[in-house]
Amino acid sequence: MKKDIQIGYDYFKNSSELNDIENTLFARAKQARENAYAPYSNFLVGCSVLLENGEIFSGNNQENAAFPSGLCAERTTLFWVAANFPNEKIKKIFIVGGPREFHEKNPPIPPCGACRQSLIEYETKQNENIDLYFSSMNDVVVKVNSIKDLLPFYFDATFL
Could you list the residues that contact ligand THU (CB under 6 A)?
38, 41, 43, 45, 61, 63, 70, 72-74, 97, 111-112, 115
CA trace torsion 97, 115, 90, 58 (10° rounding): -40
C-beta closer to ligand THU: residue 45 or 120: 45
Shortest distance, CB of residue 20 to ligand THU, whole angstroms?
26
Question: Whole-angstrom Cα distance, residue 149 to residue 104?
Answer: 27
Shortest distance, CB of residue 160 to ligand THU, whole angstroms?
26
Shortest distance, CB of residue 77 to ligand THU, whole angstroms?
9
C-beta closer to ligand THU: residue 97 or 108: 97
C-beta closer to ligand THU: residue 45 or 137: 45
Shortest distance, CB of residue 2 to ligand THU, whole angstroms?
31
Catalytic residue among 22, 63, 74, 123: 74
Answer yes or no: are the C-beta atoms of 116 and 149 closer than 8 Å: no
C-beta closer to ligand THU: residue 38 or 93: 38
Question: Whole-angstrom Cα distance, residue 116 to residue 102?
Answer: 25
| CB neighbour list of residue 47: distance below 8 Å, 6 or more residues apart | 29, 32, 58, 59, 60, 73, 74, 76, 77, 78, 93, 94, 95, 96
74 among known catalytic residues: yes
Positions annotated as catalytic residues are 74
